[in-house]
Chain A
Amino acid sequence: MKSSKDIWVFGDYRNYFQNRVTLQILARAVDLATSTGGKVCAIVFGHNVNEYVAEYIAHGAQKVYVMDDPRLLLYSLETYSKLLTRLAKKYQPETILVGATRFGQEMAPRVAKQLKTGLTADCIDLEINEKGLLIQIAPSFGGNLIAKIITPVQRPQMATVRPGTFQELPHDYNASGKTMIEPLPDDLPEDRIRLITSEHRPSKKQKIEDADIVICGGRGMGSKGKFKKLFDLADLMNAEVGATRPVVYSEWISHHALVGQAGKNIKPKILMSFGISGAIQHTAALTDADFIIAINKNPNAIMMKMADVAIVADANQACLGIIKALKEKIRD
């Protein structure tokens, strides 16, 4: 069978509604397909998944390949990656996009390996070049640089996409799409991993992702002790505290507070950024912040250039100053 121009999006519905990455990727796929000409297809594995099929169609999928079987009830890395590989071999899509959830990040590499193709991790943008190739745009080299990556020869082109990167399309109740029911192959090997317990345990992370005010601190705070002052400020402002990677690696705060790659995307009304220089791993997660106040001794730091208000000062001193001022200004 000759290869199609289709763009596939893996339907990652576990933890829906919080996890909307599939819808976000569908929206971008619709854009990309206007220049490549293929169809936007969603792939759904599971049991009783009709509601997701409908949801994906309403958000841009023109075709949905579905495998619905009680044996697929649980997310299984081994089974899902084998099924996706077989489907891809059968229908030869031009591109496969997978949300960079933990599951997606484990599954996509295995599929890419089986299909002997390339894979770019955690893209923050996708474009099509003049030759119709997918430009996979991802942070690189420790986050200070952005790389444009292509897969020139092998097909499909594959990428995982960071959640929160694209805006989902509005729910279109009139959208129609074709549902392709695929039979579950009966020669699937037995799973070598068995789930003993699974418990839905949303971590506190939702809070920072939804917070109206986020206070982020970087190494410029000086020390673990000084960093703790940010919590005092956060208490005063009903804010959540986030941090950069070096801070998390120095164990000034737990990994849950990491804002940026491998951490959280935030969309606060106000972001206060203390002593952060602004590596792309971090700043890419801030694009939805409405108003940014950055404090740094270095006026030329990228974070300062990004900010709406850039305060040239020692981050720790400024933090203490703002706490003092707020204590005077808050009316009871």
Chain B
Amino acid sequence: MDFNPCMKHQLIRKTVREFVESEIKPHVALMDKESRFPWEIIEKMKPLNFFGLQVPRIYGGADLDTISYAITIEELSRVSAALGLCVTVHNSVGIFPILKFGTPEQKKRFVPEMAKGDSIGAFCLTEANAGSDAGGVETNAVETQDAFILNGTKIFVTNGGVCGTILVFAISEGKDKRNHASVFIVEKDRPGFSVGEIEDLCGMRANPVSSLFFEDCKVPKTNLLGRMGQGMKIGLTALDTGRIGIAAQALGIAQAAFESSVSYAKERQQFNKPLSKFQTIQNYLADMATKIDASRLLVYRAAACKDKGKAFSAEASMAKLYCSSTAMEVTGLAVQIHGGYGYSKEYDVERYFRDAKVTQIYEGTSEVQKMVIARAILSKPS
């Protein structure tokens, strides 16, 4: 067992860090303030393969392993959690289900454009009456002779305002007269599809999270992903992968808040000595460092399980649960260490604090993660 990253993973980290530090970091505060999605930065990100991280090369991707993927999201989120969110959602719940469940024709039709970054992916499950409980979904798909007609409203869709390819979770009545969930691929220019208002959220403000409307939106039968009724399976598989990304994102936020705290503690003088000389502050920093380290190990373990083809659902949930709560604790302490400055927009830590919270909510709340973990524990023969 080797806990040191190999040279490849180190180089992945440095490669991403170099880019985000110089091309993204200078703009992050303003992006957040203006709630602006930075298309010009997206253009610069495209040639570096941010939008096809694990996509096979035949479809124009970088074909990275999952640990490299997690490191990429971590480093991106260390500087901009909102862009980290955009990229991880695009890759994990946008592209991945098509690669895993799509027909060869669908892969050829959708994946290359998405891997290039020319079409940003979104995945929509949540509705006014359905979130953690996917059974409450009301968006429906009616099968006609040559197509499906979608009707319904999805809310809180990450990348909603900028997406080009949308995976829609909808129900239809089966021959058994019961509702079955399926996933449909919808291109943004389909008549009947429209984007609602951008949500005014606490954090992740540079990501245009929005509602999406489907009004008699007609998609060809070739846009059904997987089989009819396979929706739940596709959704759960996508979310397992997505959770590694969100865990990595939370880790990146925590890391940023921690680094800022260390440098502030060394620099800021109170009672004629730097904050770092006070034991209370030292205790805070020690707790932060320990939890971040534990978080990192959990994320990489989940990623390694996935790379080895092992079951990783519980591991991904543990990583997501722990990383998101670490992010919340660490960013809270970071604000505390920074005192009044930490509460001010002049420093970045208040943004980390706002961005961190949602990592405990989306792609399965912490409570849902515990359900997944508990189910895995209890299903083992004792």
A250 nearest CB neighbor, chain B only? B22
Roughly how many angstroms separate A295 CA and B12 CA in the complex, as a whole number? 37
Would you give the shortest CB distance from B103 to chain A, in whole angstroms?
A: 47
Contact status A251-B22, CB under 8 Å: yes
Roughly how many angstroms separate A251 CA and B25 CA in the complex, as a whole number? 13
Interface presence of B26 (CB below 8 A):
yes
Contact status B267-A298, CB under 8 Å: yes
Interface presence of B269 (CB below 8 A):
yes
Contact status B267-A225, CB under 8 Å: no
B264 nearest CB neighbor, chain A only? A297
Q: How large is the interface on A (under 10, 10 to 19, 20 to 34, 35 or more residues)?
A: 10 to 19
Interface presence of B44 (CB below 8 A):
no
Interface presence of B57 (CB below 8 A):
no
Roughly how many angstroms separate A63 CA and B103 CA in the complex, as a whole number? 88
Interface presence of A312 (CB below 8 A):
yes
Roughly how many angstroms separate A195 CA and B357 CA in the complex, as a whole number? 64
Interface presence of A224 (CB below 8 A):
yes
Contacts of A254 in B (CB 8 A): none
The contact string, 1 if C-beta is below 8 Å from chain A, for chain B 29-51, is 00000000000000000000000
Would you give the shortest CB distance from A1 to chain B, in whole angstroms?
A: 55
Q: A299-B269, A312-B269 are in contact. Are A223 and B25 (CB under 8 A)?
A: yes
The contact string, 1 if C-beta is below 8 Å from chain B, for chain A 215-230, is 0000000011100000
Contact status A225-B26, CB under 8 Å: yes
Would you give the shortest CB distance from B135 to chain A, in whole angstroms?
A: 48
Task: Give residues 10-68 of B contacting A (CB, 8 Å).
Answer: 22, 25-26
Interface of A is mostly: loop
Roughly how many angstroms separate A317 CA and B344 CA in the complex, as a whole number? 13
Q: How large is the interface on B (under 10, 10 to 19, 20 to 34, 35 or more residues)?
A: under 10
Task: Give residues 274-300 of A contacting B (CB, 8 Å).
Answer: 297-299
Contacts of B267 in A (CB 8 A): 297-298
Contacts of B375 in A (CB 8 A): none
Contact status B269-A223, CB under 8 Å: no
Contact status B22-A297, CB under 8 Å: no
Contact status B26-A223, CB under 8 Å: yes
Roughly how many angstroms separate A179 CA and B267 CA in the complex, as a whole number? 60
Task: Give residues 327-349 of B contacting A (CB, 8 Å).
Answer: 346
Contacts of B26 in A (CB 8 A): 223-225
Task: Give residues 265-296 of B contacting A (CB, 8 Å).
Answer: 266-269
Would you give the shortest CB distance from B52 to chain A, in whole angstroms?
A: 28
Task: Give residues 222-244 of A contacting B (CB, 8 Å).
Answer: 223-225
A227 nearest CB neighbor, chain B only? B26
Contacts of B266 in A (CB 8 A): 298
A314 nearest CB neighbor, chain B only? B346
A298 nearest CB neighbor, chain B only? B267
| Most interface-central of B25, B267, B269 (chain A CB within 10 A) | B267
Would you give the shortest CB distance from A251 to chain B, in whole angstroms?
A: 7
12 further interface pairs, Cβ-Cβ under 8 Å (given A250-B22, A314-B346)? A223-B25, A223-B26, A224-B26, A225-B26, A251-B22, A297-B267, A297-B268, A298-B266, A298-B267, A299-B269, A312-B269, A317-B346
14 sampled A-B residue pairs with Cβ under 8 A? A223-B25, A223-B26, A224-B26, A225-B26, A250-B22, A251-B22, A297-B267, A297-B268, A298-B266, A298-B267, A299-B269, A312-B269, A314-B346, A317-B346
Q: Which 6 A-B pairs have the closest CB atoms?
A: A223-B26, A298-B267, A297-B267, A224-B26, A225-B26, A299-B269
